[in-house]
Amino acid sequence: MAIRTRKQKPVADTPLHTTHTMSTDLAHPDEIAALIGGRHANPFAFLGPHLDEAASTWIIRCFLPGAESVAVVFEDQAVEMVQLHKEGLFAARIELVPGRPHYHFKARWDGRDIALEDPFRFPVILNGKEILRFRQGQLWRAWETLGARSLTLEGVHGFAFAVWAPAAQRVSVVGPFNNWDGRRHIMRKLHDAGIWEIFIPGLSVDDIYKYEIIGADGSLQPLKSDPFGQAAEVRPANASRLVEPVKANNQDQNWLENRHSRHGLDAPISVYEVHAGSFRRKPEEGNRPLTYGELGDWLIPYVREMGFTHVQFMPLTEYPFDGSWGYQPVGMYAVTSRYGSPDEFRDLVARLHAADIGVLCDFVPAHFPIDGHGLNRFDGTALYEHADPRLGFHPDWKTNIYDFTKPEVVNFLVSSALYWLDRFKIDGLRVDAVSSMLYLDYSRAEGEWIPNIYGGNINLEAVQFMRRLNEMCYGEADGIMMVAEESTAWAGVCKPTYDGGLGFGFKWNLGWMHDTLQYMSRDPIHRAWHHGEITFGLAYAWSENFMLALSHDEVVHGKGSIFSRMPGDDWQRYANLRAYYALMWAHPGKKLIFMGAEFAQVAEWNYEGSLDWHLLDQPGHRGVQSLVRDLNHLYRSLPALHQRDCDPSGFDWVQADAADVSVFAFLRWNHDRSEKLLALINMTPVPRTEYRVGVPHAGRWKVILNTDSAAYHGSNYDGPDQVEAEAVAFNGQPHSIVLTLPPLAGLYLIPA
């Protein structure tokens, strides 16, 4: 008999009807028991429509706990179903001609009739090519296949869910829409790939969900958030949340077409590192952090005025614990909901681009937390992490380490990086904790780690992962930059992968940071004996493409702020900091400082509070802020300060050995050496009058920056704005100038 559908009219004189059968004819008792007990591993073989060829009928079954009655509806004809179990299992046998039926249910709950679609009547969604590419680690746009996707299937709107859990005995989607009952929406397993999927009609944006998983040993796992979920509840809640795909950022097109030039080795790159939750707060509203939109209102004009070229956000991938600052993420595809929605973050990026500001984000592929709702033993086994704790557990952070030997795990991480670059059009990723990935014995004592196949301490699979990460990111997202936080002497971090390197664009120069901060923290009377802490960095300054980073790591865990490390009374601390910044901005390498350092934040950073903006009421803090602003604008406008940051021919020592007076003098050059800048840094509180220093040619030299200027709340120590070079060879240069070096100050000079 034919079924009435929207495309097929009923055959005359052949009304739809059920056959008269006993309940045992509609379902085997063992299958009923398995379903009711939540142990049915293949519900698509039981629920939904099933053709009984011998009887030329369809058997349709549904499980709707609490329903008083259920009818299966074909257009305007309804057939009452037989209740097979008091828990809510119903079935009907319907005579029909071959052809997969289209129908919905009308169920009665508490005296009310509710129409709903049957998720078990829809066909397989994923295709074999997608599954194979994921298994091979080549499904680079995995967010379009896995996770939860808005979908219209056979004219019905809903969400398609797909998750990787190969060892699971059963996986279900649960949420308020099914009273968190794991028996309602059991997923189908797609052969041995271990991917489970289901299409659930009727769900809406902002509905929350998790996965309920019975592990390999038959035990019920903690409810899991979606590894590929694109949004989540606001902590401390942790369910995944349904969203529509992030809308395209068409207004960024001009920026994207030109960002190659903004990220080259010869480009001025000065980065302002930001923790979104503590840049500013709303004390009048319970000290809440700003939303993405509010953050843009404050951050964009400030960064633009200060002259920074980029903002770098600390991790915005979803994370459970505020105190991790985002470095223990559970949602690698989800923008943290603390500050708003994915679309609101996308709009913030677009606004930054419109203001001529690039956007970098922290990316954390090294490890993940052991929170029960996350990736930890996701399917009851060590799926995303190594099973052996000597490889899979990080002793410092008490976190799990990804298993880079699995193509699916590599695919998960690389696709996540591409998701942020593609969907939000951010301009690059700063990859966290690279050193911890490179070395098998990182933070481990003898006997606590497993050597590689050659007996060494290099994590060969992690090396391959990072190479693949950089190849894919640079290949798929034109003009971006990849930055490594790597703290060892590993050779070739920024070397191309085809030449045996890791393939990063830049590397944080943590050696420079450590040495120079140690030098600056010393009383000036002792600096003469530690001169090399400044000069040593120039011995390796071009071994990588370095970024000089004074990051959040330098203002936490009892270290104090950058300003608080400066020695002496308040006058000397301000002066020391200004001299240090003059050294940093003239030194080869791109620049990065953490928010607050630009105005001499006094207190150590507190992620639960706002920066101390009230300090700008004091002239010393305003002076430091004004200096950083002027340094940024000089750095961007003078090619000699940035074009050869990563080229040794762009730097010449003039005085590297004046340890007795703690003075440093060097030249910076542009591409063709037609432009130059002389930097002079006096690291003692003693003014150096009649101080001679060599220069490369005759003529007048003018001071374009003096950190001791009254404009920066300096002492304004007397000295000329211009000096004439004398034909007196000095410091290996054919000419020299004589001038006064103010105390604890930096001077920049260029030919007049």
More confident residue, 744 or 249: 744
pLDDT digits (tens, 9 = 90+) for 147-197: 999 999 999 999 999 999 999 999 999 999 999 999 999 999 997 789 999
Task: Please enumerate in sequence order all residues whose Cβ is within 8 A of that of 391, keeping only pairs 6 or more positions apart, or say none.
Answer: 401, 403, 440, 449, 450
pLDDT digits (tens, 9 = 90+) for 546-566: 999 999 999 999 999 999 999
CATH superfamily, domain 270-366+406-542+552-585+596-627, is: Glycosidases (3.20.20.80)
Alpha-carbon distance of 88 to 63, in angstroms, equals: 5
Task: Please enumerate in sequence order all residues whose Cβ is within 8 A of that of 122, keeping only pairs 6 or more positions apart, or say none.
Answer: 153, 154, 156, 199
For residues 562 and 577, the answer to whether their CB atoms sit within 8 Å is: yes
pLDDT at 9 over 60: no
Alpha-carbon distance of 645 to 268, in angstroms, equals: 9
Q: What percent of the chain has pLDDT over 70?
A: 96
- CATH for 23-121 is 2.60.40.10
pLDDT digits (tens, 9 = 90+) for 17-56: 444 444 557 888 999 999 999 999 889 999 999 988 777 8
Q: How many CB atoms lie within 10 A of CB 260?
A: 12
Residue ranges matching CATH 3.20.20.80 in the chain: 270-366+406-542+552-585+596-627
As a dihedral over the C-alpha atoms of residue 399, residue 404, residue 405, residue 406, rounded to 10 degrees, the angle is 90
**Residues that are catalytic:** 432, 485
Alpha-carbon distance of 186 to 120, in angstroms, equals: 9
Phi, psi of 664 (to 5 degrees): -125, 135
Question: What are the CA-CA distances from residue 491 to residues 279, 501, 536 (Å)?
Answer: 36, 8, 18
Write down the pLDDT at residue 553: 96
For residues 697 and 652, the answer to whether their CB atoms sit within 8 Å is: no
pLDDT digits (tens, 9 = 90+) for 83-120: 999 999 999 998 875 677 889 999 999 989 999 999 99
Average pLDDT, the chain: 94
More confident residue, 128 or 333: 333
Mean pLDDT of 4-18: 35
For residues 6 and 102, the answer to whether their CB atoms sit within 8 Å is: yes
The tokens for 326 are: 């985002």
Q: How many residues does the chain have?
A: 752
SS3 readout for 703-746: EEEECCCHHHCCCCCCCCCEEECECCCECCECEEEEEEECCCEE
Residue ranges matching CATH 2.60.40.10 in the chain: 23-121, 128-241
Alpha-carbon distance of 389 to 600, in angstroms, equals: 43
The H-assigned helical ranges of 424-478 are 434-438, 460-476
- CATH class for the region spanning 648-751: mainly beta
Write down the pLDDT at residue 162: 98
pTM, full prediction: 0.93
Strand order in the sheet with 77-80: 77-80, 69-74, 104-109, 112-116
Write down the pLDDT at residue 137: 95
Alpha-carbon distance of 217 to 168, in angstroms, equals: 9
pLDDT digits (tens, 9 = 90+) for 248-301: 777 778 899 899 999 999 999 999 999 999 999 999 999 999 999 999 999 999
More confident residue, 170 or 720: 170
Mean pLDDT of 634-648: 97
pLDDT at 383 over 60: yes
Residue that is written with structure tokens 């041995």 in the block = 192
pLDDT at 10 over 80: no
Mean pLDDT of 663-675: 96
For residues 426 and 271, the answer to whether their CB atoms sit within 8 Å is: no
The tokens for 485 are: 């936080």
128-241 classified as CATH 1.10.3720.10? no
Radius of gyration of the chain (CA): 32
pLDDT digits (tens, 9 = 90+) for 415-472: 999 999 999 999 999 999 999 999 999 999 999 999 999 999 999 999 999 999 999 9
Mean pLDDT of 601-609: 97
At 607, is the pLDDT very low, low, confident or very high (cuts 50, 70, 90)? Answer: very high
Alpha-carbon distance of 752 to 746, in angstroms, equals: 18
The tokens for 220 are: 């019920």
Residue that is written with structure tokens 């099973």 in the block = 387
Residue ranges matching CATH 2.60.40.1180 in the chain: 648-751
Side chain identity, residue 72: V
SS3 readout for 327-375: CCCCEEEEECHHHCCHHHHHHHHHHHHHCCCEEEEEECCCEECCCCCCC
| Listed range (86-95, 137-146, 338-347, 605-614) with the worst mean pLDDT | 86-95
pLDDT at 696 over 80: yes
For residues 358 and 592, the answer to whether their CB atoms sit within 8 Å is: no
Write down the pLDDT at residue 249: 72
User: Pick from 487, 363, 489: which is nearest to 426 by CA?
Assistant: 363
pLDDT at 719 over 90: no
